Chains A and B, each alone.
Chain A
C-alpha cells in the first residue's frame, strides 16, 4: 500500500514536467490562456487532487491525530 502511495506521489511531477516537449506551445488557447499555461494550471489542480487521494488512503493519517 505504501509503495502505491509513494508511486502516486510521482504522478504530479511526471504530469507537470514529463510532457513539456509536447505541451510547450501557445495554441490552442484554453480558458483564455496559452496551452502551456493551461497545462500547468491543470496539473496544479490535479496535484491538490492527488494529495487529497493520498490523504484518504494513507494509513498514517489515522494515527496522526492525538486524542
Chain B
C-alpha cells in the first residue's frame, strides 16, 4: 500500500464517518433531510454553495480549459463572481417565499408560485433529467482523479463504486447535514491544495508567474487573449451572462438555499464568494504550467493536465491528498444532486399522482430512491458513452430554461400564467435539445449574420424562444381567463 492509497482511504473513511454522524440528535423527517430544518448559518451555507459550485468538473475543466484554450478559460472566473450579484438579490427572495410556504424543493416553488402541481411535475422532470448527467460527470471525474492519484492501484471503476456507495450511505442516513459536514473538510483541502500547487508549480518550473506567461506568450502570441473568432468577445459575454442565469436554476442549489436560516445569510455569503472564486486563478496557473511540462494532451485527455503535472512533480503523499480532495469534490455535489433528485421525484411527481400518500410515505420513498438513482448514475458512468456527454452539454441549457419563469414569478403583478411558464420551458428545452443533438451554432442556423453574432452562445436562442413563447401564451391564456371571468360575472349578474 503506497502513501497515496493510504491517504485516500483515510479521507474516505473520515467523510463516511462525518456524513453519518451528522444526523446525531435530529429527527430525520423530510424537512430535516432535504433542507436541514432551515437552520444553516452563513458558514455552513457558504460551504454548501461552494461545495456545489466547485465540483470535479470545475477542477479538471478549468485547468483543462487554461491548458487547451488559454484566455477564454477566464469565463469561469467571470461567471462565478458575477453570479453572486444575482444571488445577492434573488436568493433572499426565494428563501423568504420558501420559508413562508414550507417549500422543500425547486418544483415546490414553481408549483406554489403558479398554483399548478403539474407545472411542478414538468420542472421536476426537467430538473432530474439535468441532474443525472451532472451526477454522472461527478462520478467520472472521481474515477479519473482517484485512479490517477493512486498510481493506478485503484481502478476508475472501483473508485466510482466506492464514491457511489459512500454518497448513498450518508445521503440516506443524514441528508443535507451529511453534505454540509463533508463540505467542511472538502473546502479546507481544496483551498489549501489549489493555492499551494498554483503557486508552487509556476515557481518550480519557470521561476515565477511572469516568466511562465512570457514563455507561453512567446510560443503562441494569440493564446493569452480572447481570439477574434470562435471563443471571442461576443462568445465570452454571451456565455458569461447565460451561465450566470443558469447558476441560480440548478434544483440542488434551490435545496441549499432553503437550508439557510435567514435572508442575510445569503447577502453575506454573496460578499465573500467572489473572492473565493479567485481560487480558480490558481487552478488556471496549474493548467498553464502544464502546457510546456506535459505537452500534447488532446481532446478529453486535456482534463488530465492538472493530475499529470502534479504526479510528475510531487511525492506520493501529496498526490494522495490531491486524490482525496478529488474524492470529496465529487461527494459533496454528488450527494446534493442525488438528494434533490430523490426528494423532487417523491414529493413533486409521486405525490401529485398518488395524492393519498402520507408525508411519511413520501419521505420514505425519497430515501429509497437514493440508491436507485445512484445505481442509474453508476450505470451511465460505465455505459453512457457519447449520450451522456451530449446530455451533459444539454443539462446546463436545460436548467437555464427554468429561469424566465422564475424571474417572472417575482414581478409585482404576476403577468405570466402557468400555461405561459410551461409553454416557455417546454419550447426552450426542445429547442436546446435539437440544437445540441444537431451541433448547431448561431452561425449554422443563421449564416448571414455578422461574425460577432455568429459566435454568441447558442443557448441565447433557446432563452429567446422561451421568453417569446412565455409572453405570447401568457397573453392568450390571460385574456381567456379574464373573459371567462367576465362571462361568469355577467351570468351571475
Interface residues of chain A, those whose CB is within 8 Å of chain B, are 6, 9, 12-13, 16-17, 20-21, 24-26, 29, 31-34, 36-37, 40-41, 43-45, 47-48, 50-52, 54-55, 58, 60-61, 64-66
Contact = CB atoms under 8 A, between A and B. Distances in A.
Contact of B271 (A24, A33, A55, A65): A55
Nearest to A62: B264
A52 B224 CA distance: 31
A52 B209 contact: no
Interface in B365-424: none
Nearest to B89: A9
A51 B268 CA distance: 9
A24 B236 CA distance: 12
Contacts of B221: 26
A45 B276 CA distance: 10
Given A64-B263, A65-B262, A45 B213 contact: no
B451 to A, nearest CB: 14
B210 A44 contact: no
B10 interface: no
Contact size range, B: 35 or more
B356 to A, nearest CB: 36
Contacts of A31: 209
B160 interface: no
A29 B274 contact: no
A20 B85 contact: no
A14 to B, nearest CB: 11
B330 to A, nearest CB: 26
B309 interface: no
Given A47-B274, A64-B264, A20 B77 contact: no
A65 B92 CA distance: 11
| 4 closest residue pairs by CB, A with B | A32-B209, A64-B263, A32-B210, A64-B264
A54 B270 CA distance: 11
Contact of B237 (A20, A33, A43, A48): A20
Nearest to B275: A48
Nearest to A8: B85
Interface string B69-101: 001001001100110110011001000000000
A17 B84 CA distance: 15
B74 A40 contact: yes
B85 to A, nearest CB: 5
A51 B262 contact: no
A54 B264 CA distance: 12
A44 B89 contact: no
Q: Which of B210, B240, B284 has the most CB of A within 10 A?
A: B210
B233 A12 contact: no
Given A9-B89, A44-B275, A24 B233 contact: yes
A41 B279 CA distance: 11
A51 B263 CA distance: 15
A28 B295 CA distance: 27
Contacts, number: 115
A44 B263 contact: no
A33 B209 contact: yes
Contacts of B275: 44-45, 48
Given A36-B74, A44-B274, A55-B268, A21 B262 contact: no
A44 B278 contact: yes
Contacts of B281: 37, 41
26 contacts: A16-B82, A20-B233, A21-B233, A24-B226, A25-B225, A26-B221, A32-B208, A32-B210, A33-B209, A33-B210, A33-B213, A36-B226, A37-B71, A37-B74, A41-B281, A44-B77, A47-B81, A48-B274, A48-B275, A51-B84, A51-B85, A51-B270, A54-B88, A64-B264, A65-B262, A65-B263
B47 to A, nearest CB: 18
B339 to A, nearest CB: 26
Contacts of A9: 85, 88-89
B92 A47 contact: no
B277 A44 contact: yes
Given A17-B237, A64-B267, A41 B278 contact: yes
Nearest to A43: B81
B13 interface: no
Contact of B236 (A20, A29, A43): A20
Contacts of A50: 85
Given A9-B88, A44-B77, A51 B209 contact: no
A40 to B, nearest CB: 5
Nearest to B222: A26
Given A21-B233, A61-B264, A34 B225 contact: yes
A20 to B, nearest CB: 5
B258 to A, nearest CB: 16
Contacts of A26: 213, 217, 221, 224-225
